[in-house]
Amino acid sequence: MALGFFTNNKDCYGCKTCSMACMTTRLSGQTETFLRKVEVILDGQAQAQSFLSLACNHCDEPACMANCPVGAYTKLDNGVVVQNHELCIGCKTCISACPYSAPVFDEASTSTYKCDMCIDRLERGDLPACVEACPGANIEQGDIEALAKAHPDAVREVAGLTASANETKPNVLIAVDPKIA
């Protein structure tokens, strides 16, 4: 079993509540770094504007983990990729290795952070903050195979917007807005 995310790009209206919930829940008081980003697509074309919310994809073959020189990343049995901040030296190798730009560097703490799927919340039986906060219920988290069955038209990559799914085998599914397909 591998946990992953489903994001509904078709119905996302770009409020960024998921991003704010992530930052305040996951890194409250530590940094103002956004681990979940909401990308504006076709900006400037009001009739065709669309949004895509993405965080770490907890890949089957995580480039961050493979390239970290100090072994600060671990892939748990449930597929979640976590980072040990006590080991992180802030070298930014994981940032340059990740084709999704999931790890982000925080200048204030001189450390790198990434989504850990709110592992502490999952262990308590709660949803990740981004999933719980989305007012449109456009983000789901769960077993990636179950999510694929529930959303058979969802894709793992969007041409021109995300890296090739063959690169790291991301555990993310996206319902693509036909305006950007």
In degrees, to the nearest 5, what angle opens at C-alpha 70 toward C-alphas 32 and 72? 45
* Domain ranges for the chain: 3-175
CA pair distance 129, 19, nearest whole angstrom:
9
- CA-wise closest residue to 80 among 112, 56, 103: 56
Q: Give me the architecture of the 3-175 domain, per CATH.
A: 2-Layer Sandwich (3.30)
**Averaged pLDDT, groups of 10, the chain, 181 residues long:** 94 92 76 81 67 94 97 97 93 96 87 92 96 96 97 92 92 86 61
- 73 φ, ψ to 5°? -110, 145
Model pTM score: 0.91
Give the model's pLDDT for residue 87. Answer: 94
DSSP string, 120-152: HHHHTTPPPHHHHH-TT--EEEEEHHHHHHH-T
- CA-wise closest residue to 60 among 78, 47, 37: 78
